Structure 1
Amino acid sequence: MNEKILLVDDEVSILHSLGGALQDEGFRVTCAKSGEEALDELQLDPPDALLLDVWMPGIDGLAVLERVKQLMPHLPVIIISGHGNVETAVRATKLGAFDFVEKPLSLERILVSIQNALQFQRLQEDNLIWRQKATRRFQLSGKSPAIQSVREQILLAAPSNATVLVTGENGTGKEVVAKAIHNLSQRSQRPLIEVNCAAIPDELIESELFGHEKGSFTGAVEKRRGRFDLAHGGTLFLDEIGDMSLRTQAKILRIIQEQTFERVGGSRTVKVDVRIIAATNKDLQKSIEAG
């Protein structure tokens, strides 16, 4: 442990007692007796966490907090106060304080707050590194606000198991977005199975998606696994889902809700673990309104 703590309080006794106790715990501690001194120290040698008293002559703690969040938005700030009240705590939280600790100070309480703040900061740094690496893996070129928005939405969607609908005209990169979401998800080591719904005739789409049993229709000479089977544990990308029949869409809805289906010609219920990403170039809302 060698993290630096900046302790700011106009009470010299607290600087000595709390500063010494934190040093005994292995922290590097720098002390400041005023808000002005604290802001100067922040510029000279930024700390890993800031312990900040509220009521000080000159620039008070909340004004310092507001300035700190402008200069170093990711620096965790723990507010300490001997005149704690709900209004002050709420205002500090709105300004970006990580925690609010009332005096008389408990060393145990302070240590827990510091450790939580440092852990939170590490998670933020790890997340930033992950987002930077992830963004470099995208095949989406460009720096326009629209492209940046798409990247952010990909990063939000990827970690979850939520069903995703990607809309856009032909050639706008819907498949690229689907692949990026899969590759950044926890399913990235499992299959990504793609189906172009517009390229498969209506009479064959259910067999293609769900598979079929031997003898279920003319030409079904053997049992066949469908795309949902093949995508088990991974992701199924249904491109041009707007061209799919309502009957098949209803069966897809059941899989989304229950993760189960039956093969064509079969009665046994098959359970799967599949995330669905769908794409379409149609305005589905208009299609719904048109019936």
Structure 2
Amino acid sequence: MEPHFLGPGAKVDRPRPQRSGRVLVVDASPLSLIALAGVLDAEGFVCTCARNPAAALKAAQQETLDLVVCDVGDDAPAALQLITDIRTMETCRDLPAVLIAESQWAGLEKKSQPLGAVHCLFKPLDPSSLLAVVDQAMWMPHLVNTHRRRGSRPTRSGWVNL
């Protein structure tokens, strides 16, 4: 069988990912920021990107968010403070967060426990691990009321509405 090549401008129907939600991605490194947002965007999430805490806070004030993904970089205490500051906003009180850190920050998961609803991933990241944690974080039991208020529902197969 001969290979079939599509010409320029040809459209290929690809199934759209079933995931949905608005994610704030915070990372000081432009390459890392694009990579993280790209993985999430390819799965159907709408991403807002910020390279510093001030931009992240401004985005949190202007957007309705479902999750924050924050690369810790060299300053874990600043990342934890950013999550605390975002959660002081009325619309972000129960906002879950995923922190991404280098191995030098081992123990970060224990430091973040008082914040609640914070997950930690350590580099190097596997995109499927990131997506699994994001899925879990966005539909945690304590967020059910938040999702009900917004009228959003899980879109993954196997979920049952009660």
- Normalising by structure 2, what TM-score? 0.69
Q: CA deviation at 1:69?
A: 2.4
The root-mean-square deviation of aligned C-alpha atoms, in Å, is 2.3
Contact in 2 for aligned 1:93/1:99 (Cα 8 Å): no
1:89 paired to 2:121: no
Using the alignment, how far apart are the partners of 1:45 and 1:128 within structure 2? Answer: 16
More helix by share: 1
**SS of equivalent residue, structure 1 residue 70:** coil
Amino acid at match of 2:34: H
- The partner residue of 2:100 within 64, 73, 80 is 80
Aligned to 1:177: none
Identity %: 24
Cα distance change of structure 1 residues 100 and 36 upon mapping to structure 2, 3 Å threshold = same
Aligned to 2:146: 125
Aligned to 2:154: none
Using the alignment, how far apart are the partners of 1:126 and 1:10 within structure 2? Answer: 30
Using the alignment, how far apart are the partners of 2:116 and 2:32 within structure 1? Answer: 24
Gaps of at least 5 residues in structure 1 are 130-291
* Aligned residues between the structures: 127
Q: CA deviation at 1:97?
A: 4.0
Cα distance change of structure 1 residues 42 and 119 upon mapping to structure 2, 3 Å threshold = same
Using the alignment, how far apart are the partners of 1:5 and 1:125 within structure 2? Answer: 15
Q: CA deviation at 1:2?
A: 3.0
Aligned to 2:15: none
Structure with bigger RCO (C-alpha 8 Å, 6+ apart): 2
**Deviation per residue, 1:34-82 (Å, 9 max, x gap):** 111101100011311110122357x821110111222222111111111
- The partner residue of 2:52 within 14, 19, 34 is 34
Gaps of at least 5 residues in structure 2 are 1-18, 151-162
Aligned to 1:6: 24
Using the alignment, how far apart are the partners of 1:92 and 1:35 within structure 2? Answer: 17
Question: Which protein shows a greater Rg?
Answer: 1
Cα distance change of structure 1 residues 90 and 96 upon mapping to structure 2, 3 Å threshold = same
Contact in 2 for aligned 1:54/1:81 (Cα 8 Å): yes
Aligned to 1:65: 83
- Normalising by structure 1, what TM-score? 0.40
